[in-house]
Amino acid sequence: MLTTDNKVNLDEVRISMPAEGGGDPVQVVVSRSVVDAITAATGPDGKLDIGIYTKSVTGFDDGEIRSMFEKIQNKEHWKNPIDAVVPNHRLDLAKAAITYFHADDQFTLTPKGPLATRIQSRGYMA
């Protein structure tokens, strides 16, 4: 069971979760927008629908993010840095895919003509 205590401020929520195997509860502070997205994606059965959550946070569904990441990921290992050229109309999706899989939102963007951009990332950061 999760309990929340919103005494920090209106933009943060403190969440307490029982520690695995007993012991003191684990406490984390997350932004209100993350809690709102999780709440919106939780069904009446109390289970989180990760597809709804992903779309509410990124604007893209899980399939779109996976498909883009498979196209731009490092072919030796998915955790390695990315260096790819993507069409400009898919740049936001590429950034969302890297953020989702690499837990990193730092990119180097270099225009490659009027229709494409080179995107580079540092690799898996979690």
Q: What is the pLDDT of residues 39-88, one digit of tens each?
A: 666 667 766 666 666 676 678 888 899 999 999 999 999 999 999 999 99
How far apart CA 5 and CA 59 sit, in angstroms, is 28
Q: Which of the two residues, 15 and 89, has the higher pLDDT score? A: 89
Mean pLDDT comparison of 7-11, 22-26, 112-116, highest-scoring range: 112-116
Q: What percent of the chain has pLDDT over 90?
A: 39
Q: How far apart are CA 72 and CA 8, in angstroms?
A: 39
Write down the pLDDT at residue 40.
67
* Nearest-angstrom CA–CA distance, 8 and 115: 45
